[in-house]
Structure 1
Amino acid sequence: MKEISRSVLGYEQMKIPYVIQSKTANPKGLAIMLPGIGYTVKSPLFHFSSGAFLNKEYDVLHVNYPYYSADYEDFSFEELTSALIKDVSAVLHEVLDHTNYNSYYVLGKSFGTMAMPIVLELLPINDTKAIWLTPRLIDAPVFETMRKCKQEGLCIIGDKDPFYDIEKMKQIILNPSLECMIPPGANHALEVDNDILTSIDTVKSVIKRMDNFISSQNGVLKT
């Protein structure tokens, strides 16, 4: 597997690292990974979903914003959100300026989903799909984007997640472009509290649902 590590200057000129992974010279598209603050790309859901995309001959972009570091410890949540949007946009502009893919997937988890509305605006609507993992439904742009978006999408959130809202989910489910999976008993990590074996089964079912959602028919990289 080929791996390219680079960085861009983001919010307040701070360095934002990113990695592009590839297993083929002619990828079918690009999968953009937006992790949470504490849930990094090395965590199970990102590790296995990255593998699923690579196995289907997609390039994978990991945006590794370092918001857990001391540089950000004095940031309010609002400022951190502003940093997220600026940093992800900076990485995307840098990558898109030097590549030309025919199809895109955007996968965000929790805090990372707050950047998805702006990312979906930057990408071609007919060639982009979205995977919303444990989305922050309390964030208005996230909820409204999920409720109205035209891009094909998959939403996965457990009914024991603190951001789960049954009334908002009822509205999201009405969007014909969006599939929804609500694992029973699953928390914010899409695991089940105090039950290791059920947690493993839940994560496995989530990965399988994502793997099924990933199409392998979306064109090739333009050169």
Structure 2
Amino acid sequence: MKESSRSVLGYKKMKIPYVIQSKTENPKGLTIMLPGIGYTVKSPLFHFSSSAFLNKEYDVLHVNYPYYSTDYEDFSFDELTSALIKDVSAVLHEVLDQTNYNSYYVLGKSFGTIAIPTVLKLLPINDTKAVWLTPRLIDAPVFETIRTCIQDGLCIIGDKDPFYDVEKMNQILLNSSIECIIPPGANHALEVDNDILTSIDIVKSVVKRIDDFITLKNGVLNNEL
């Protein structure tokens, strides 16, 4: 596997590192991965999802924004959100200026889902799909984008997640482009408290569905996990 590490200057000229992984000279497309603040690209769902895309001959872009560092400790949540959108846009503009892909996926978790609406606006509508892992449904742009987008997508959130909202999920379920997967008892980490084996099963099922999502022509089955 080839791996290229680079960086761009993002919000307030701070350095934002990113990595592009590839297993083929002729990739089918690019997957943009947007982790949470505490849930990095080395965490299980990102690690295994990255492998799934690489095995399907997609390049994988990890945006490794360092919001856990002391450089950001005085940022309010609103400013951190502004930084996220600015930083992800800067990375994506640089990558897209230097490459030419025919297909795109964007996968975000929690805080990273805040940037997905912006990313979807930068990519071709008909050639882009999205995976929303534990999305922050309390953020209006996130909810409205999932509710109304025409790009095929997966929305995966447990019913014990603090961002889970029955009324909002019922509205999202009306969008035929989105498949909603709601693991029962799963928290924000997509784990069940005090139940290791069930938590492992959830991770396995989610990764399998993402793997299927890459393969299916239209992506969406509209079945729950």
TM-score (norm 2): 0.96
2:168 maps to 168
**Distance of 2:100 and 2:17 partners within structure 1:** 21
Q: Is the Cα contact below 8 Å between 1:28 and 1:217 reproduced in 2?
A: no
Alignment of 1:1-223 (within 5 A): 1-215=1-215
Q: Deviations over 1:3-58 (max 9, x none)?
A: 00000000000000000000000000000000000000000000000000000000
Q: Percent identity?
A: 86
Q: Is the Cα contact below 8 Å between 1:56 and 1:216 reproduced in 2?
A: no
**Distance of 2:27 and 2:215 partners within structure 1:** 13
| Structure 1 residue matching 2:198: 3-state secondary structure | helix
- How far residue 217 of structure 1 moved from its aligned partner, in angstroms, is 6.7
CA RMSD of aligned residues (A): 1.0
**Distance of 2:159 and 2:201 partners within structure 1:** 16
TM-score (norm 1): 0.96
**Distance of 1:217 and 1:174 partners within structure 2:** 21
5+ residue gaps in structure 2?
219-225
**Distance of 2:95 and 2:143 partners within structure 1:** 27
Q: Is the Cα contact below 8 Å between 1:128 and 1:151 reproduced in 2?
A: yes
Runs ≥4 residues deviating over 4 A: none
**Larger relative contact order (Cα-Cα within 8 Å, sequence gap ≥ 6):** 1
1:221 maps to none
Aligned length: 218
**Distance of 1:14 and 1:162 partners within structure 2:** 31
